[in-house]
Structure 1
Amino acid sequence: MITRDAFRGSTTDELLYVDKNFTYQGTLNVSAHDVLNIHLEISKRNHEHIYHPYCIKTLKGYLKKRRNQVNKKVKPRVRFIQKTNSDSGGFRVSCLATGFYPRHINLTLFRDEQPVADHEITGGDLRPNGDGTYQMKKSLEISAADKHKYTCSATHLSLDNKLNALLEFDHGEPFKSVIPSVLTVLALMLVFGAAAAVWKRRYAASEETVDTTATFKSM
């Protein structure tokens, strides 16, 4: 516990109480030394027998009421998010750790098992979730020709070991994602084309039958 007295914005004296030991520092110009000693003795007695016990009692009561909240531990969920950067033609990869409690977490990005320099990383702010847990996101810009291996590692009180997420970066992913769509469109075109051809053929055959019947009756 620390008690400070101040005058005109400056600290005049400070009384520090740690482990039942007192340390005093002051700049008071007190003519009667005995007066200062009496003041210190009274302050020490108040700290030792009133302030400190009452503070500890209050903290213990608060911790007892909040036991479940204080002792709660929720493991984080860690994953990579990859988005195309239209301006640079590269990618923005983000490591997101969310849903963890308590709030302190270490989130580190690795490139080929080496920590990525801080000046390359953006984000890293701790933000609350609506359910009382927290989240943190760190992002990195990489080029389309990047061939490195990226890993995100999280350490947290709820984890026995580090929790790692590996970036499965596929440079052909944009092209691959287009192929199924193209094939689907082609397949639909073929189905509709075949259906139209069959319908046209049947329609022509029915017209020919009608004409033949009409000619036969006239004869």
Structure 2
Amino acid sequence: MLDDTTVGYFDSETGNYVPRGNTTNEDDVFNLGDTTTIRDDIYANLVLRSRHGNHTENLVVYQVVGLCELWDNDKPGLMITKTAFSGFTIEEVQYVDGKFTYKDQNQDKNPYLQIILWYHENLAFPNCIKTLKTYLKKRGAQVNRKVKPRVRIIQKANTDSGVSRVSCLATGFYPRHINLTLFRDGQPVSDHEITGGDLLPNGDGTYQMRKSLEISAEEQREKHKYTCSATHLSLDNKLDIDLEYEGKPITSIISSVLMVLVFLLVLGTGAAIITWKRRRTDATKSDYSSTSTSDEHVETPS
């Protein structure tokens, strides 16, 4: 993982590292040398066998997670590795500014501690930073991009219970960090009233978040004003979106629309009647004018 982007994975069937989501014509290279083999030989096998006995008859799950950081000034940050055995973390190593912090969950003396520290300082840490810099050159634009969120606030009524739900939704944003707040009459809604708020991934590498609030029928009659507010790295200022109709019940909206339609229908009918009368009057005048003109040209016998 490079930040929150998967850049590759190991295919256990082929035994190869497979790049994922490459945005350049260059092939990604997972460059940690032979450090994985060294760790398996001098650390994993020896430590697990000596501290947890022989598990040849049962399924054994051994997990290791490691990360390293690189600051914007190109200065290396910390490195952390955690080791788990059968679902429990058994040790954690932190390395920063040349100093180690070692935590052993079993609270016993690890005979391989010096080997572990030597491994981090001389192999794992420098190779992790080197690999991180290599990926940043190839994928920097991908992980440093900023995509603005699309924010909207919607209300959905439950006709059976009379309860409505106001939802604040932000989607399509990157990076993942966002502050999404639902306001009622200018005041933030309490966390215990809010449901949702989980960060979910989209298929295009962006993220989405939804926060919802249930509104009783009594609250709907009070006509509160609800606002969805979002702050994100891609936004210069805070983005505020108000709920349309300010939380009015859907029946009021339908009634208003029907009243407008009836008014337009009456107005259209009246206009049609007036136009018909005008045409009728014009036609009558035209007939009268033609008759008068004909009478004026009748010659009187001498």
Scaled by the length of structure 1, what TM-score is found? Answer: 0.68
Residue 236 of structure 2 aligns with which residue? 160
Counterparts in 2 of 1:183 and 1:89: CA distance versus 1, 3 Å: farther
Counterparts in 2 of 1:183 and 1:54: CA distance versus 1, 3 Å: same
1:55-204 aligned within 5 A: 55-142=128-215, 143=217, 144-168=220-244, 169=246, 171=248, 172-183=252-263
Identity of aligned residues (%): 59
What is the identity, as a one-letter code, of the residue corresponding to 2:256? K
Q: Give the Å deviation of 1:116.
A: 0.9
Greater mean deviation of Cα atoms: 102-111 or 140-149: 140-149
Provide the C-alpha distance between the structure 1 equivalents of 2:109 and 2:267, rounded to a whole number of angstroms: 96
Greater mean deviation of Cα atoms: 107-116 or 119-128: 119-128
Aligned residue for 1:63, secondary structure, equals helix
1:20 to 80, 98, 104: 98
Greater mean deviation of Cα atoms: 164-173 or 46-55: 164-173
Counterparts in 2 of 1:154 and 1:15: CA distance versus 1, 3 Å: closer
Aligned residue for 1:145, secondary structure, equals helix
Residue 121 of structure 2 aligns with which residue? 48
Q: Which runs of 5+ in 2 are unaligned?
A: 1-79, 275-302
Cα distance per residue 1:41-94 (max 9 Å; x no partner): 443332212111001111222222211111110111222212333123353322
Cα distance per residue 1:152-186 (max 9 Å; x no partner): 11111112321111224163423212223334566
Provide the C-alpha distance between the structure 2 equivalents of 1:141 and 1:84, rounded to a whole number of angstroms: 10
Aligned residue for 2:117, secondary structure, equals helix
Provide the C-alpha distance between the structure 2 equivalents of 1:173 and 1:82, rounded to a whole number of angstroms: 13
**Of the two structures, which has the highest relative contact order with CA contacts closer than 8 Å and spacing of 6 or more?**
1
Counterparts in 2 of 1:185 and 1:92: CA distance versus 1, 3 Å: farther
**Contact 1:5 1:14 survives alignment (8 Å):** no
Provide the C-alpha distance between the structure 1 equivalents of 2:142 and 2:134, rounded to a whole number of angstroms: 14
Aligned residue for 2:168, secondary structure, equals strand
Scaled by the length of structure 2, what TM-score is found? Answer: 0.51
Provide the C-alpha distance between the structure 2 equivalents of 1:74 and 1:131, rounded to a whole number of angstroms: 11
**Contact 1:98 1:135 survives alignment (8 Å):** yes
CA RMSD of aligned residues (A): 3.6
Provide the C-alpha distance between the structure 2 equivalents of 1:11 and 1:137, rounded to a whole number of angstroms: 33
Q: Which runs of 5+ in 1 are unaligned?
A: 31-35, 195-219
Q: Give the Å deviation of 1:3.
A: 6.2
Q: Give the Å deviation of 1:133.
A: 2.3
**Contact 2:224 2:247 survives alignment (8 Å):** no
Q: Give the Å deviation of 1:100.
A: 1.2
Counterparts in 2 of 1:45 and 1:119: CA distance versus 1, 3 Å: closer
What is the identity, as a one-letter code, of the residue corresponding to 2:138? K
**Contact 2:223 2:247 survives alignment (8 Å):** no
**Contact 2:82 2:89 survives alignment (8 Å):** no
Q: Give the Å deviation of 1:15.
A: 4.7
